[in-house]
Structure 1
Amino acid sequence: MSWLQQPVAAWNEVAAAAATERQAQLTKPPGSLGELERLAIRLAGMQGAVKPRVDQVWISIFAGDHGVVAEGVSAFPQAVTGQMILNFAAGGAAISVLARELGATLEVVNLGTVNDPGEHAGVRRAFIAPQTGNFCDGPAMIEAQFAQALAAGAQSVQLAKQAGAQLFIGGEMGIGNTAVATALACALLDESPVDLTGAGTGLDAAGVARKAAVIERALQRHGDLRDPLAILRCLGGFEVAALAGAYIAAAQAGMPVLVDGFISTAAALAATRIHPSVREWMLFAHRSHERGHARLLDALQATPILDLGLRLGEGSGAATAVPVLRLACALHGGMATFAEAGVADA
């Protein structure tokens, strides 16, 4: 796993400076487009283009099952993970609809499911095991499984790069993965499960309390973990590790990443703890309704683009934010300067 520590790509500071100068010349009061201006400038630095674009979007959905589901942490049965893989491929899921509307490439990656759909058109099979280990009993992944999951994320970035993508979105599917993300968040932030555990797929108050107790058992079982790789291996999931691997690989490849909701942000925090420079290549799509997400965003000093009360996952919040990025780029590239429009500057 030595590739994880390879340096990330450098921003193009010349392009970012030129984009900043362009913003100062556009026919509007300085700063009047707020975050839209800052997004365009950040994308300019990332892409090395004074007028950036996000026409070519790549979305990878990583799917994997979790042994901790045996502890009753989800309102849905584990079979749903495999069923949703087929729904993604058939075009019936929310992210499938959003990808079509955006003209984005949608990749579905099966990393390991109990209800395994097998080889299927539209699904990349990177099968590791039917599920992770129950992290209440031991590590979620052995070293070899962990390395496979990280590498699967990196491979998706390689495919996106080869396809000419200008933006990478990672999404996830895996019954029980809000429990996994909460355990990761608690370990990385040194927070109590009582404070971060949410409803996930729709648990009632008793279910949330039970999930928090399960996470507390897992944290006690694994002791005082400090190394972020060990935290991710012991408490993570195949799809969460793949997301972290993808974020690191994207930064190394110089590809902007748009981070989705709670689970994706937990993976993003793990990625930045493994390789802090990765943070510079991340944009954050939205503040989800899932409890604990705001705390993760604060830890990453992230300003989300949207706040719509979403909590679906699948990369759906990130896909919903793409039109805002496109409009930011269109305004930045298409507005006239004061000189061009013959308008008096301040």
Structure 2
Amino acid sequence: MKTFSIKRTDKTIAAEIQAKIDDLTKPKGSLGLLEETALKVGIIQETLTPTLSKPYNLVFAGDHGIADEGVSATVKEVTKQMVYNFIEGGAGVSVFARQHGIGLKVIDAGVDHDFEKIPELIHKKIARGTRNFLHESAMTHEELHLALERGAEVVDEIHAEGCNIVSFGEMGIGNTSCSSMLMTMLHNEPLEKTVGAGSGLNSEGVRHKLDVLSRAKTNYKGDGSAFDLIAYFSGYEMAMITGGMLRAAELGMVIVVDGFNITAALLSAAALHPEVLDYCLFSHKSNEGAHSQMLDILGGKPLLQLEMRLGEGTGALVAYPIIESAVCMINNMSSFSAAKVTRSFS
């Protein structure tokens, strides 16, 4: 059974980092979220000179039994098709990863398809899709432990390569239903506020989705613990992301959080180990309505608001250059004394 030991970040260095930021040749606070981002990265790395090394985006893919209830506008076969698209370089996440020089790994967590041995695909499949949580738990407790462990294994691999900043992406038709249920069950949020259009449902489709998820909530008879709720309503890909986040925090890595589904995986991670939040930067606010509520629950301040809702980690990749700018700022801007500039503003 995989266990995690995550320490809280040591805030004692925060004042020193903030003093360095405030002494840069600019009005105090004038670079806004760049300054807050530099401070957060410095605290995570416990240094006044933070660095970003070999960034990776990890895309986990898996199918969901709940998709059989017609809760998505997209058919389940698209999951496997998109995995091939990721590998062939044609997906949005592939394009942005190339643009910014970010490593991309694609992981089969539980796609309903038997992939051939493709070198570019990491094979971590638990089963060909989860069970239908309208009627039963999506996965067993043993499978959830395995998913957490396998997600952590992928993070161990990139950390061994020298990676110290990681983002996560997901692919799985029906996974917004999982995210809505996790948000509702872990934080007692009404389903009416957590259920959205996902991949493009019309108003009638959203009503049907809400009806299905409402019945699933009524049917749940578990013990109400965070672990049991995650096993019952999550997906293999999302559970592996949860394990990956926990391991990244344990290793002291910076975690760049993407949109609705990835933030739901973080809700799960924080329910198990709240300390994980100390290591997170929030890349953007998704156009999936309930994401704003998720960010409020977690105290996340997004760097961007571009009305994106693609997933895959695309928001995190688009935000990455902003994080680079924050680190560049704290390391390369002159101080008032070094530049011989009179401090005439505060």
TM-score by length of 2: 0.96
Which of 17, 20, 29 is equivalent to 1:19?
17
Q: Distance in 2 between matches of 1:20 and 1:107?
A: 35
2:215 matched residue in structure 1: 217
Superposed displacement of residue 194, structure 1: 1.7
How many residues end up aligned between the 2 structures? 344
Superposed displacement of residue 157, structure 1: 1.3
CA contact 2:222–2:228 (8 Å) conserved in 1: no
Superposed displacement of residue 111, structure 1: 1.1
2:136 matched residue in structure 1: 138
**Structure 1 stretches lacking a partner, 5+ long:** none
2:178 matched residue in structure 1: 180
1:88 aligns with 2:86: yes
2:275 matched residue in structure 1: 277
Superposed displacement of residue 64, structure 1: 0.4
CA contact 1:89–1:121 (8 Å) conserved in 2: no
User: What letter matches 2:199 in structure 1?
Assistant: T
User: What letter matches 2:338 in structure 1?
Assistant: E
Aligned with 1:111: secondary structure?
A: strand
Q: Distance in 1 between matches of 2:33 and 2:46?
A: 20
1:102 matched residue in structure 2: 100
CA contact 1:194–1:209 (8 Å) conserved in 2: no
Superposed displacement of residue 118, structure 1: 2.9
1:114 matched residue in structure 2: 112
User: What letter matches 1:166 in structure 2?
Assistant: N
Residues 102-137 of structure 1 show CA distances to partners (whole Å, capped at 9, x for unaligned) of 111111000111133332121000111101000001
Q: Distance in 2 between matches of 1:38 and 1:99?
A: 24
Superposed displacement of residue 9, structure 1: 3.8
Q: Distance in 1 between matches of 2:59 and 2:303?
A: 21
- Compared with structure 1, are the counterparts of its residues 61 and 2 closer, same or farther at alpha carbon in structure 2 (3 Å cutoff)? closer
- Compared with structure 1, are the counterparts of its residues 225 and 186 closer, same or farther at alpha carbon in structure 2 (3 Å cutoff)? farther
**1:299-338 paired onto structure 2 within 5 Å:** 299-338=297-336
CA contact 1:171–1:260 (8 Å) conserved in 2: yes
User: What letter matches 2:96 in structure 1?
Assistant: L
1:30 aligns with 2:28: yes
Superposed displacement of residue 225, structure 1: 5.2
User: What letter matches 2:29 in structure 1?
Assistant: G
CA contact 2:8–2:275 (8 Å) conserved in 1: no
Q: Distance in 2 between matches of 1:225 and 1:308?
A: 39
2:256 matched residue in structure 1: 258
User: What letter matches 1:89 in structure 2?
Assistant: I
Which of 60, 63, 66 is equivalent to 1:65?
63
Q: What root-mean-square deviation, in Å, do the aligned CA atoms of Structure 1 and Structure 2 show?
A: 1.4
Task: Report which stretch shifted further, 331-340 or 112-121.
Answer: 112-121
Superposed displacement of residue 196, structure 1: 1.4
Q: Percentage identity across aligned positions?
A: 37
